[in-house]
Structure 1
Amino acid sequence: MKYKIAFIFVLLSMSRQLAAQTMSAVPFAPKILPGKGLKQFDFFYAGEAKARNMYIVRDGKIAWSYIDTTGRGEISDAVLMTNGNILFAHQYGITLINSDKKVLWKYNTPEGFETHTAQPIGNDHVVFVQNGNPAKVFVINIKTDKIAKEFTIPFKSGTHGQIRHARLTAAGTLLVAHMDLGRVCEYDVNGKELLSLEVPSVWSAVPLKNGNMLVTSNQRFVKEMTRGGDTVWEYLLDEVPDYKLSSPQLAMRLPNGNTLINNWFNQWDGRLDLNNLPVQAVEVTQDKKIVWALRAWTDPVNLGPSTTFQLLNDPNGITEKVRFGDIK
């Protein structure tokens, strides 16, 4: 009997190994990718990873990099400002550096709280969301280091999974992606809720020039939604042929009307297979055809996991030339 049981365990082990090999053999993306590779765009890039790395890519090459291998936390959000400064949220703080990597301002998150998203307002203020109990929106004057505005927002327990992304709108309001609540909410500068839309496992909500918003979800979809909650465009990642796009975190609408979607790789849950590498971003047309894909995991341009993707000189892109109520 014991030999029969041992034989069954051996068979089960072999079947698991075979299943794992079969899964790893499924290509994450075509061998030949559409588009011009790294030369398709000039862009600023950062991602949630075990090290805090950021890059500026020009003409297909790394023109600038920030490599932090000794710090703590992960970069969930970063903004390249028009003056060349970079503001980034890195879980346990927010830092503003210049192109020479000199720290111009820093906020250290209190023990038990986390910060995963931040945006500059002009050159004097920063708005950010702080996860924790309670979750709060802050506006800080970085010249005086004084709080210009703060208010509490809804939250569930579990600090790390509360909010990953927030962005100011042209109307001077703040769109917050409540990942824990499965809702996108809009707040005015005094914390009044102006809008609340159900979006399960929402990671980000980016306002568009037409008044709609582009949302991404951990349930592997990207949608353009109206303020009334109607879906006008939807991209279901599980239905994309020839690609395995597992974790969208940010989507942006390009000047040509296409949509750029990042595809994050979780370094904590898996190890890269150099013979079967996932793509880090795709450009998708309105009729859902992939016309460009990025795969840059090896030297001389190893960009690592993808979270933030900002085109250089994009007139529709994120900027510090925004306001939050009367703060500008």
Structure 2
Amino acid sequence: MKRIKQLKIILILCAIAMFSNAAAANWLKSEKIKKIKGYVITASELDKVLVLNDKNEIVRKIEANNTYDAWKLKNGNILYACHRGVRLITPADEIIWNYKSKSEIFACQPLGKNKMLVGECSKGRLIEISSTGEILKEIPLTYKKGGHGCFRGARKIKNGHYLVSHHADKTVREYNKNGDVVKEIVRPFNVYAAQRLSNGSTMISDVYCLSIYDKKGKMVWEFDAREYSELGVNHLTGFQVLPNDEIIICNWLGHSPYKKGIPVFKINMNKEILWKYTNAQQTYSCTNIQVLYE
């Protein structure tokens, strides 16, 4: 009887090992499909949008005054904010769309093939604009403190609403398609970016923390970068949630390009630091990042 029990235990352990190996194989297969081939980084202090390869080498530089947001599109074009404007540029550096504004612009977003979202900070509004320059929609924003500190990140999300990070108000507001505020999340620090996650929660970056709030507005997770002295945290800015639930985050190092710190790093949901981009002299202060996949 004792031998039978031992045999059962061995069989169970073998089954667990087989399952674990299969799971690992599936994970590796998924990772191979989603292999990172590079990054698009907005380097505000360099006045450049930088394209890096998977070895963290700069392979392209685009002149972009005080840039804070950029997207590489499937056709290779890059949409980016450049202080008081937004441009769309080809791989050959040809400017094919150029929106100029009297307002500071910290956020832009491609909306399909021929439409973009532009966040005009100083004017306190979002606009949806066509590739021909026609303003298709205007969303006046609600805020207490306007001007330079009005907002940073702005994104249109799947339900047609807009998530806006009101920097000086320390508040992320969700606006419906009519411009009405339908939700507010208040943080203790100046907020920078917000993203709606697939489960309906909202992830927010502020000066020191990356946090998650559930649908009811309750904080359910928080990463406090002050607990990791090696990061040299100054202000957490743009971030991207990766397919494996890891998160890549920018740490804006301030207006002095020689300030020490880690400009970009990656964590998991267990708050473990998985990867650090350490060459602050190459990128200076990073404000946003887009991970590029093969």
Q: TM-score, normalised by structure 2?
A: 0.81
Partner of 1:130: 120
**Post-superposition offset of 1:271:** 4.7
Counterparts of 2:71 and 2:183 in 1: how far apart (Å)?
Answer: 25
Q: What percent of counterpart residues are identical?
A: 24
Within 1, Cα distance between the matches of 2:213 and 2:286?
24
Alpha-carbon contact 1:172-1:188 (below 8 Å) kept: yes
Equivalence map 1:268-307=2 (5 Å): 268=255, 270-272=256-258, 277-298=260-281, 302-307=282-287
Q: What stretches of structure 2 of length at least 5 have no aligned partner?
A: 1-34
Alpha-carbon offset, residue 264 of structure 1: 1.2
Read off the aligned partner of 1:289 and give its amino acid letter: E
1:196 equivalenced with 2:191 (yes/no): no
Q: How many Å separate the matches in 1 of 2:98 and 2:110?
A: 13
Displacement of 1:211 after TM fit? 1.4
Residue 297 of structure 1, CA deviation: 3.6
For the aligned residue pairs, the C-alpha RMSD in angstroms reads: 2.1
AA of the residue aligned to 2:128: V
2:202, 2:90 → 1: CA distance?
Answer: 30
Unpaired segments ≥5 residues, structure 1: 1-39, 315-328
- CA drift of 1:127 comes to 1.0
**Matches of 1:116 and 1:173 in 2, distance apart?**
19
Query: How far off is 1:61 after superposition?
Result: 5.1
Deviations 1:134-156 (A, max 9, x none): 4111111113x211111211134
1:295 corresponds to which letter in structure 2? T
Q: Does 1:108 align with 2:100?
A: yes
- Which is further off, 159-168 or 53-62? 53-62
Match of 1:52 in 2: 47
For residues 255-304 of structure 1, give each alpha carbon's deviation from its aligned partner in whole angstroms, at most 9, with x where no partner exists.
Answer: 222222211111x3x3516xxx4211111122211111111245xxx233
Does the alignment pair 1:78 with 2:58?
Answer: no
State the alpha-carbon separation in 1 of the partners of residues 154 and 280 from structure 2: 28
Report the structure, 1 or 2, having the larger helix content.
Answer: 2
Go from structure 1 to structure 2 and tell me whether the alpha carbon gap of 1:293 and 1:93 turns closer, same or farther (over 3 Å shift).
same
Given residue 305 of structure 1, which amino acid in structure 2 is its aligned partner? S
Aligned length: 259
Mapped to 1, the partners of 2:251 and 2:107 lie a distance apart of 18
Where 1:88 maps in the other structure, the secondary structure is strand
Give the aligned partner of residue 146 of structure 1: 134
- Where 2:231 maps in the other structure, the secondary structure is coil
The SS at the match of 1:238 is helix
